[in-house]
Homo-oligomer: A and B are copies of this chain.
Amino acid sequence: MRLSRYFLPVLKENPAEAAIVSHRYMLRAGMIKQASAGIYSWLPLGFKILRKLENIVHEEQQKAGHMPMLMPTVQSADLWRESGRYDDYGDEMLRLTDRHGRDMLYGPTNEEQITDTFRSHVNSYKDLPLTMYQIQWKFRDERRPRFGVMRGREFLMKDGYNFDLTKEDALHAYNRHLVTYLRTYERMGLQAIPMRADGGPIGGDYTHEFLVLAETGESEVFYDSEVTDIKLGQRDVDFDDKAQCQAILEEFTTRYARTDETHDEAIFNEVPEERRRSARGIEVGQIFYFGTKYSESMGAKVVDENQNQVPVHMGSHGIGVSRLLGAIIEASHDDKGIIWPEGVTPFHCGIVNLKQGDDEADAACEDLYAALTKAGLEPLYDDRKERAGGKFATMDLIGLPWRITVGPRGLKNGVVEVTSRKTGESEEMTPEAAINKIIAIYANL
C-alpha cells in the first residue's frame, strides 16, 4: 500500500476523551472513529488488524474441529423467555420492537439461539460431539461505555458452543478451547493467563478467564509468578487426545492464578512469598462448562445408546475480538505509539523515502516495494512529500514492527537502514539483505 493512497487520518494531538493509551493511540493512528457513545467505526487501518485477529481466531478454532457459522444479531425475545433470561438480563440488553410489535433484542450473547439451532436439528448421540462458533457483533448497552473498544457497546466477539453427551466429553471440549485460546493469544503476541473465574449470569461450575497483564486492566489479579513462564509454543496438539488436552489444562491452571472475584487469600499464601504477585489484568476471553442449564430449560435432548432421552452437556467459550485490539496495544506500546507484534501487524514493514522525488531514492523504494510484495508481504510505502521527521513519527505511531529507511546518502554507499520498532535499533545493509531479512522474520508466522 502506498500511503499517498491510503486513508490514514492520524491526529497530532491527544484526544481529550481518551483516558487510556489504547484508546488514545487507536484514535490518533486513525484506526477508529467514535460514531456514538461506545460505538465505533473501524477505519481502514483498524479494520485491517481486526480482520487479522478474526482470521487467527478462525484458524485456531478450525484446527480443533470447531465449525464456523453465523447467527443473526437481532433475536426474538421469545427464545430468551424460554431460558428465563429475558427478564433477568436488565438494562444492558438492547430491547427493540419490530414493525409488527414483536419483542426483539440485539443479542448480547447466543446461548439461546444456538441451543434452538441444536434442538431443531440434532436428536441422536451419534451426531455428537459438536462444537460450533461464530464471530459476530454483539451489543451490550453499558451504562457508562469508556476506554474505546475496551468497553464499547457494539463489539465483535467470538462465541463458541459445545454439545456433548457426557460431562466427560464436555470437559474435553472445555480443555480443547483452553488450548486453542492459548495458541490464539500467543500468535497475537499476548501472554494471556487462564485464571479461575466466577460464572456470572451465564452460569457454570467450570470457568476460566484469560487475562493479559497490563497496568490499565480492569481486574486485580493474583498469581504465582511461575504461570508467566509457561508457553504453549509450537508443540503438536492432537485435539482428539483427551489425555493430552487435560494435561495442558493442568499445566496451565494448577498454579495459583485468580482474579479478585475468586481470590482466596489463604490459598494464595501457600505460594512461596517470592513468587506471589498481584497486578492488573485485561480480560480477553472466558471459557465455561455449564452442564445442562440451557439444554434442560430449552429441551435440547438426544437419544443415547440405550434409547433414553438425555439433555446434552454444554459449554460456551468467548474471545473479545474487538477488545483484543485494545489489549494488544495496552500490552505493547511506548511513548511514541503502538508496537504491533509481528503476528498481527497491519503491514509487515514500512518503507520511508527520505527524499521523495529523488530519482534514485524513488527507484530504490519502488524496488523494495515490488520485491516485498512479490514475496507475499504487505509493505506500507510512505511516498508522500513530507519531511523525514513527520514520516518517522507516523510510522512510530502506527507501530509497524520493521521500517526500511531509504535516502540518497545511504544509497551512495549501497545501503538502506532497517529499524526495529521495538528496540529502536537500526542496521545498515544492502536493499537485497533488507528484503531477505524481512522475509525471514515473517517466514514462520
Whether B36 lies near A74 (C-beta < 8 A) is yes
Q: With A and B bound together, what is the CA distance between A143 and B127 in angstroms?
A: 38
Number of copies: 2
Whether B69 lies near A42 (C-beta < 8 A) is yes
Which residues of A in the span 207-221 have a Cβ within 8 Å of any Cβ on B? none
Given A73-B154, A96-B94, A98-B94, answer yes or no on A65-B141 (Cβ-Cβ < 8 Å). Answer: no
Q: With A and B bound together, what is the CA distance between A57 and B43 in angstroms?
A: 18
Whether B7 lies near A67 (C-beta < 8 A) is yes
Whether A122 lies near B9 (C-beta < 8 A) is yes
Question: Which residue of B is nearest A50, CB measured?
Answer: B70
Question: Which residue of B is nearest A130, CB measured?
Answer: B7
Which residues of A in the span 1-20 have a Cβ within 8 Å of any Cβ on B? 5-7, 9
Given A43-B117, A70-B41, answer yes or no on A91-B96 (Cβ-Cβ < 8 Å). Answer: no
Q: Which residues of B contact A76 (CB under 8 A)?
A: 35-36
Whether A65 lies near B5 (C-beta < 8 A) is yes
A93-118 contact mask (Cβ, 8 Å, vs B): 1 or 0: 01110110010101000000100110
Which residues of A in the span 386-439 have a Cβ within 8 Å of any Cβ on B? none
Whether B43 lies near A69 (C-beta < 8 A) is yes
Q: Does A86 contact B (CB under 8 A)?
A: no
Q: Which residues of B contact A9 (CB under 8 A)?
A: 120-122
Whether B41 lies near A71 (C-beta < 8 A) is yes
In the complex, how many residues of chain A place their beta carbon closer than 8 angstroms to a beta carbon of chain B?
56
Q: Does A75 contact B (CB under 8 A)?
A: yes
Given A7-B130, A33-B120, A94-B98, answer yes or no on A44-B67 (Cβ-Cβ < 8 Å). Answer: yes
Q: Does A40 contact B (CB under 8 A)?
A: yes
Whether B35 lies near A71 (C-beta < 8 A) is yes
Chain A interface (Cβ < 8 Å from any Cβ of B): 5-7, 9, 30, 33, 35-36, 39-44, 46-48, 50-51, 65, 67-76, 91-92, 94-96, 98-99, 102, 104, 106, 113, 116-117, 120-122, 127, 130, 132, 134, 137, 139, 141, 143, 153-154
